[in-house]
Amino acid sequence: MAANVDLIFVVASLNRELNLRRLERYLAVTWDSGATPVLVLNKADLCDDRPEILRSVEAVTPGVEVLLTSAATGEGIEALRATLARGLTAVFVGSSGVGKSSIINRLMEREAQAVKGIRGDDKGRHTTTVRQMLVLPGGAVIIDTPGLRELQLWDAGEGLGKAFSDIDDLAEGCGFRDCGHSSEPSCAVQAAIESGMIDLARLESYRKLQREQTFIAGKKDDRLRVEGQKKWKQIARANRARQKARHR
């Protein structure tokens, strides 16, 4: 999507039910990139239950700044602008129709990006189809990206740990170093779930992404093994050809 960025704004929309599991996935990939994630909850003007939604979001975004914005009214735009110091490079990512381009137009103080209104079912319309780099009046560089329909992990081990740092921190208090957080005695993670400190769905999401990470790592190892075999076959063929040339 982009390289050499300082900030990644993960944009979600508040006018429809938030997918917390999708946010966790975005943050795992963002943390692993080395950039700093900022979660932008857009279309706040269309949300009637901000405090409850904000609590649920903050419960799954440890260590991440969360901003409420409305590209329609301008709410939160100055707070967003304040994170974009001169010389920084930031990229906006998120699903189609969450308002990335509309936010950028507010930051640019002009219609720099084409946008469309929301549909009758409150869904945003897919508009941006290519990546575009823009320079803000304050000197920061921002990149708009097309909406993503699917986001897969790729070697995001460190980022996965940061995205679920609350669970990893709790795991330090488990009675067993290799605790699976299921039926083991003295499990601090299960105790936190029982007390309501964390939600069981978050632990299940962590396990799912860990399994996906393991599967992708296995595919990567298989690909490297096949490529290595091809390389040595090519070397062997070249050696045989040289030997035949010497005996002619």
CATH of the domain at 218: 1.10.40.50
Q: Could you tell me if 12 and 99 lie in one domain?
A: yes
- The domain containing residue 180 runs over which residues? 164-242
Within a domain: 1 = no
Q: Could you tell me if 135 and 169 lie in one domain?
A: no
Answer whether 46's CB lies under 8 Å from 15's CB.
Answer: yes
Strand 132-135 versus strand 141-144 pairing type: antiparallel
Write down the residue that tokens 């490079």 correspond to.
89
Taking only the tens of pLDDT, the chain with its 248 residues reads: 556 789 999 999 998 778 999 999 999 999 988 899 999 999 999 998 899 999 999 999 999 999 999 999 999 999 999 999 999 999 999 888 898 989 999 998 877 665 555 544 455 444 555 678 899 988 999 998 875 555 556 555 688 999 999 999 999 999 998 898 988 899 999 999 999 999 999 999 999 998 888 888 777 666 656 666 676 667 667 667 766 776 66
Domain ends where: 115, 144, 173?
A: 144
Q: Could you tell me if 128 and 179 lie in one domain?
A: no
Cα–Cα distance between 68 and 15 in angstroms, integer? Answer: 12
| Helix 20-33, helix 200-246: angle, nearest 10 | 40
Query: In terms of pTM, does the model score above 0.95?
Result: no
Tokens of residue 145, six digits: 């990206």
**How many whole angstroms from its chain centre is CA 24?**
7
